[in-house]
Amino acid sequence: MIEEKDVVRLANLARIPLHKNDAQKLVHDFENILDYFEQLKEVSTSSIAPIAGGTLLSNEVRNDEKKINTLLSEKAIGIFPQAEDGFLVVPPVFE
């Protein structure tokens, strides 16, 4: 069974602030959840076929196309603080 110290430890690991009365309520809630799982174990699933995936949907894939980048027009490059050979120069993130 779940003890209050277990709930407090989980809350600390998850960095969730927890008051004393909240821990006692959560112990009760966790016990109810575990009781429900025990009930589910009693359900016979022998006549249920196993499934994999659960959906017949597939990903739509498109061909890669080279597109002209209209953002980096002469006008856009002209208003950027620093550019070189048609590329925008940005300050380094790591030094």
Positions in the chain whose pLDDT score sits under 50: none
Tokens of 28: 């009760």
Cα separation, 86 vs 71, in Å, equals 12
- On whether the CB atoms of residues 31 and 37 are closer than 8 A, the answer is no
Q: Does the domain spanning 4-41 belong to CATH 1.10.20? A: yes
Strands (E), the chain: 83-84, 87-88
Q: Percent helix, strand and coil across the chain, each rounded to 5?
A: 45, 5, 55
39-64 confidence digits (pLDDT tens):
999 999 889 888 777 777 888 888 88
Tokens of 79: 């208003």
Predicted local confidence at residue 68, as pLDDT:
62
